[in-house]
Structure 1
């Protein structure tokens, strides 16, 4: 059991947190332990008082039913892990900003064109598209076939036709494709080929939150940094702490 916990805690933290939330919420909904109502999004719910702002997050936490609980959770974890460990998103704040950006695009697109109320499929396609952009020229395994890596998001869209409400899921997935492509254009394609700046840099307040004085970013998470020298730490005066190790009396 300790080994399982150790392996779990050593996985990339953002991918681990999101995938765990998706799995637990989906299991809770499909087993009847949780009501699906708080996970359903409709833009009219934002006009209530108070507005149901939490639905902007919870609508991305429920998978497809049955085997979708396992497969969707697996793909979410896989693609988020790839993004979290590649050079493009070495800083956790960059990945968090990416998630905020694409979900902010996905929500209004679905409100306008699909009326989708569970939006995880769109986020999954967005993650797949972004992760495979750095894998051009490589092959990937899609179930039992091997395809060029950059075709993965399109294959994931087409396979939705095999499931109930397939066309509706494809339309939802397309909004994720649009959001991911827009992020790629504004942050990479335009700066590289248009000789312009990154139009959607990570906001400073996210970097500030992620780089508090006692926290240090590492590859697989964060660790507490020791206090800097020069400032008093602890209840004892500096003159006491500078006299070497203490000795027990008696």
Structure 2
């Protein structure tokens, strides 16, 4: 048991937190411990007193039923861990967090304006997958029993939904639209259009993810020893994985689920 917990805490912090939130919320809702009315999103609930702003996050925490309780947290972990640890575009954790905020916000707007959805996890999973595979063009990846170009994995996910759960296809498409718009505003337009990054990571995001090395006191300044874990920090977190290697990758670009 201690080995499992050690592996859990070594996993990328944001990926493990999102996967845990999805699993716990889904178990709570589907087994009747947590009312669905507490987690879904509707914009009217932001304009009452007090505003229920937690729904901006919890609306991404509910998986599909049955097998989705396992697979949705796994895919969310798989793609977010790659964003967090392997993509040069996201060199800092605040960049990943800002990506989640902006892409999640775009998914909410698209769905509330055009689709009337109230839960958005499948859109976010496909969005993260789309962003990950942009750096894998030219590589091959396994999708179940088929080998396809890596950049087609998000579309394979949508195609598989035609057979298993057609109702989520519009939500998944909204995820691709949101991820492509983010990529255009932050990479394509600056690199190929000569413009500016229109969604730069704001400075305040750094304060959300970084622990200050210096502690200000009324009677002086204390320098925190980085070797000593502090309260509220996530100790032992690294770019490890709680998943077997055979589930995660078999060479460049070969990722499960994608796989």
The alpha carbon displacement at 1:2 in A equals: 1.4
Q: Does 1:142 align with 2:138?
A: no
Other-structure match for 1:240? none
Which secondary structure does the structure 1 equivalent of 2:158 belong to?
Answer: helix
Q: Does 1:190 align with 2:171?
A: no
- Which structure 1 residue ranges, 5 or more long, are not aligned? 216-223, 228-250
Which secondary structure does the structure 1 equivalent of 2:136 belong to?
Answer: coil
TM-score (norm 1): 0.82
The alpha carbon displacement at 1:33 in A equals: 1.6
Other-structure match for 2:90? 89
1:147-158 matches, cutoff 5 A = 147-158=148-159
> Residue 209 and residue 33 in structure 1: after superposition, are their counterparts in 2 closer, same or farther (change >3 A)?
closer
Other-structure match for 1:60? 60
Q: Does 1:21 align with 2:28?
A: no
RMSD: 1.7
> Residue 36 and residue 187 in structure 1: after superposition, are their counterparts in 2 closer, same or farther (change >3 A)?
same
Structure whose CA Rg is larger: 1
For 2:147 and 2:27, how far apart are their aligned partners in 1? 31
Whether the aligned pair in 2 keeps the contact of 1:105 and 1:179 (CA below 8 Å) is yes
For 1:211 and 1:54, how far apart are their aligned partners in 2? 22
Q: Does 1:131 align with 2:132?
A: yes
Point out 4+ residue stretches in structure 1 off by more than 3 angstroms: none
Which secondary structure does the structure 1 equivalent of 2:141 belong to?
Answer: strand
Task: Report the count of equivalent residues.
Answer: 217
Other-structure match for 1:69? 69
For 2:92 and 2:173, how far apart are their aligned partners in 1? 28
- Which structure 2 residue ranges, 5 or more long, are not aligned? 215-222, 227-259
TM-score (norm 2): 0.79
The alpha carbon displacement at 1:169 in A equals: 0.9
Other-structure match for 1:237? none
For 2:13 and 2:224, how far apart are their aligned partners in 1? 18
For 1:66 and 1:45, how far apart are their aligned partners in 2? 29
Which secondary structure does the structure 2 equivalent of 1:140 belong to?
Answer: strand
The alpha carbon displacement at 1:110 in A equals: 0.6
Which secondary structure does the structure 2 equivalent of 1:128 belong to?
Answer: helix
The alpha carbon displacement at 1:32 in A equals: 1.5
